[in-house]
Structure 1
Amino acid sequence: MAQSIDKPPFFNGEHYAYWKNRMMFFIKAKDFHLWDIVEDGPFVATMSRSEWSANDRKKMELNCKALHIIFCALGLDFYAKVSSCESAKEVWDKLEVIHEGTNDIKETKIGLLNLEYENFKMDPNEDIKSMFDWFSTIVNQLKGFGEEIPEDKLIRKLIYSLPQSWDSKKTAIIEAKVISAHLPYLLG
């Protein structure tokens, strides 16, 4: 069943990285200024509401809109965990800590993913699609943590991850440079 493009992606507690990425693009598509509020934080008024300028009011409205979108995407359990937050950034950051952990935990996860990337090899009994799906998962998880791997490095890793039985195909791939033309589309 397809989801409406007007409703934010619903988060039920599973596949946080997938939801986070979709939610980021949903918010950006609604209004890029909303994403600035989520990412950088809201305007914090130091004066009473009656003293706000038109610009102050606009910033507060953006925070409320971003909060509304995020709250509409959360199930009751997760809403209860963040409902006391007053800014969209505060909600976003709290969800990140709940699902990705603190910075120390993130660094550990990144380290484990980098180790998995470095040790990645195609199993001789594995088909190329399964191998590539797993490789893409590792690369996209690293990307989700802000770890970008240059395209040429990804291509070399893929080629050298193939087993010995693929040696003749490796040479053909390298000479044809077929992968480099298609890698951006394959990794999404």
Structure 2
Amino acid sequence: MSFFTERGYAHRPSLLEGPNYYTWRSRMRAFLKSIDERVWSTIVDGWTALVIDENEVSRPKMVASWTVDELTILNYNSKVIHALFNAVNVNQMKVIANCERSKDAWDRLQVKNEGTSAVKRNRLRRLLIDFENLNMHDDETITALYGRVCGISNECFALAKTYSNIGLVRKVLCSLPQRFMSKVTTIEECCDMDVMDIDELIGFLQTYELNLKRWDKQKPSKDLALKHEQKKALFEKIVVLTTKLTEAKAIIDKLNVGSLKLDEVLGQEKSFGDRYGLGFSPGTSTSNSSAWTFVKATKTPTEDVVVRQATKKKVLENHNLFSNVNHNANNGFSSKRTWKPKTDVNCFVSHTSLLAFQNDLWYLDSGCSRHVIGNKSLLTELESVDSGHVTYDDGKKGKILGKGSIVLPDFSILKDVLLIDGLKTNLISISQICDKIL
């Protein structure tokens, strides 16, 4: 139901705005009757302008020749027209602006706002459906529900559909929610539904509604218990997430061990072949070739150690891969470091591609993730690989043909060495060595 700020007064009728037609019609009828009962009769019975016949020709009767009773009826018609013109808005005024008879103006307003017979039937059908589906909302009061019931019943009454008092009483009882069920049961058992007035029923329900509100205030709030349950559930979620985070950190730490070991190895700046400090044990070497012989540190190195030292220096100087030589005391040398100037040294893997291909030449590469080789004849236990590739530093890719093992002099067996198509350089992956050690 729509409510409008425009109200009717004893000296002024209410304003018709369209949706409030049924309310306006009732107020307008009361207003016209308050002026005079015969004013309203001009709408019910109608008024016709007086005519006279002269020589079989009809013409309007002059006002000067009207009787007192005829003038009185004319005044009643004029009062209705005046009241209607001042009780409608601009859009409604366009419909009755040319009307001189009060009944014609009233009928036109009725057709405009109620519609034709077909429109009335459809509107009545919609109202009947709304009445059958009417239910009280959870946050609605008894007063609001009663207002909706009266609004629908009044509109139905305007369309020639009348609801009896007992029908309204039963509809209200059926529309109540579960919190009113105890009261509904009491009313049905203790009262005669056939004689109960709708206003009496609404009074009972309003009293019960007030008691419900008072009881709700006295009951302890459920919000505290709800908040406690929410906090408990949140705490349990935090514990589960914390456990998962700890497990994830442990997994990440295991994955980072190889990288940390690699950083440690590179930070020691060890020379080629010096494997002490990396978990190396001389007695566990599996190489069948000439093995290293470790002796105690002496001021005068042995002949065998001097030969190996000269060989190592020659390899380093020929290929310009290192900028300093670190002699460990465990190899029989002094621990003093000798620094060499870095002159025209290119420490990139691509630099090795300029050298002639040598089967026995290997390079330690900290940027290579796997051991790789290009010569198939050096591999043992070769297994073919149907798919896969490696990516070089310049973005180019090489196809993986297989993988196997290789035995290097003075070194342990290298396993899982990838055979790459067209590779001209043999690379030893430092990160793969560290992973194997772990």
TM-score, structure 1 length as denominator? Answer: 0.82
1:64 is matched with 78
Q: Taking structure 1 as reference, are residues 59 and 154 closer, same or farther at Cα in structure 2, changes over 3 Å only?
A: same
Q: Taking structure 1 as reference, are residues 102 and 37 closer, same or farther at Cα in structure 2, changes over 3 Å only?
A: same
Q: Secondary structure at the match of 1:73?
A: coil
Q: Taking structure 1 as reference, are residues 138 and 90 closer, same or farther at Cα in structure 2, changes over 3 Å only?
A: same
Q: Secondary structure at the match of 2:51?
A: coil
Which amino acid letter does the alignment assign opposite residue 90 of structure 2? L
Q: How far 1:154 moved relative to its partner?
A: 1.2
2:94 is matched with 80
CA deviations on 1:10-46 (whole Å, 9 max, x unpaired) are 2344522222221111111111111111233213423
Partners of 1:23 and 1:185 lie apart in 2 by: 29
Which amino acid letter does the alignment assign opposite residue 70 of structure 2? D
Partners of 2:176 and 2:17 lie apart in 1 by: 37
Q: Secondary structure at the match of 1:156?
A: helix
Partners of 2:82 and 2:202 lie apart in 1 by: 33
Partners of 1:99 and 1:184 lie apart in 2 by: 34
Whether 1:180 and 2:178 are equivalent positions in the alignment is: no
1:159 is matched with 173
Q: How far 1:125 moved relative to its partner?
A: 5.8
**RMSD in angstroms over aligned alpha carbons?**
2.9
CA contact (8 A) 1:43 1:56 kept: no
Q: Secondary structure at the match of 1:154?
A: helix
1:117 is matched with 131
Trace 1:133-172 onto structure 2 (pairs within 5 A). Answer: 133-172=147-186
Count of aligned pairs between the two proteins: 186
Correspondent of 1:15 among 10, 15, 20: 20
Whether 1:30 and 2:35 are equivalent positions in the alignment is: yes
Which amino acid letter does the alignment assign opposite residue 134 of structure 2? F
Partners of 1:42 and 1:183 lie apart in 2 by: 44
Q: How far 1:93 moved relative to its partner?
A: 0.9
Q: How far 1:77 moved relative to its partner?
A: 3.4
Which deviates further from its counterpart, 151-160 or 11-20? 11-20
Which deviates further from its counterpart, 146-155 or 160-169? 160-169
CA contact (8 A) 1:41 1:87 kept: yes
Which amino acid letter does the alignment assign opposite residue 182 of structure 1? D
Q: How far 1:170 moved relative to its partner?
A: 0.9
CA deviations on 1:44-83 (whole Å, 9 max, x unpaired) are 4233135544332222221111111111222333323211
Q: Taking structure 1 as reference, are residues 126 and 13 closer, same or farther at Cα in structure 2, changes over 3 Å only?
A: closer
CA deviations on 1:137-184 (whole Å, 9 max, x unpaired) are 211221232322111221122112224553321122232469616259
Which deviates further from its counterpart, 150-159 or 3-12? 3-12
Q: Taking structure 1 as reference, are residues 76 and 116 closer, same or farther at Cα in structure 2, changes over 3 Å only?
A: closer
In the alignment, structure 2 segments of 5+ residues that lack a partner are 53-60, 204-438
Partners of 2:126 and 2:24 lie apart in 1 by: 22
Larger relative contact order (CA 8 Å, sep ≥ 6): 1
Q: Taking structure 1 as reference, are residues 185 and 163 closer, same or farther at Cα in structure 2, changes over 3 Å only?
A: closer
Which deviates further from its counterpart, 6-15 or 110-119? 6-15
Which amino acid letter does the alignment assign opposite residue 37 of structure 1? T
Partners of 1:183 and 1:63 lie apart in 2 by: 42
Partners of 1:158 and 1:118 lie apart in 2 by: 11
Whether 1:41 and 2:55 are equivalent positions in the alignment is: no
Which deviates further from its counterpart, 45-54 or 77-86? 45-54
Q: Taking structure 1 as reference, are residues 42 and 185 closer, same or farther at Cα in structure 2, changes over 3 Å only?
A: farther
Which amino acid letter does the alignment assign opposite residue 180 of structure 1? D
Q: How far 1:123 moved relative to its partner?
A: 4.1
Bigger Rg over Cα: 2
Q: Percent identical across equivalent pairs? A: 26
In the alignment, structure 1 segments of 5+ residues that lack a partner are none
CA deviations on 1:93-124 (whole Å, 9 max, x unpaired) are 11111111112211211121122223323345
Whether 1:107 and 2:121 are equivalent positions in the alignment is: yes
Q: Taking structure 1 as reference, are residues 28 and 54 closer, same or farther at Cα in structure 2, changes over 3 Å only?
A: same
2:343 is matched with none
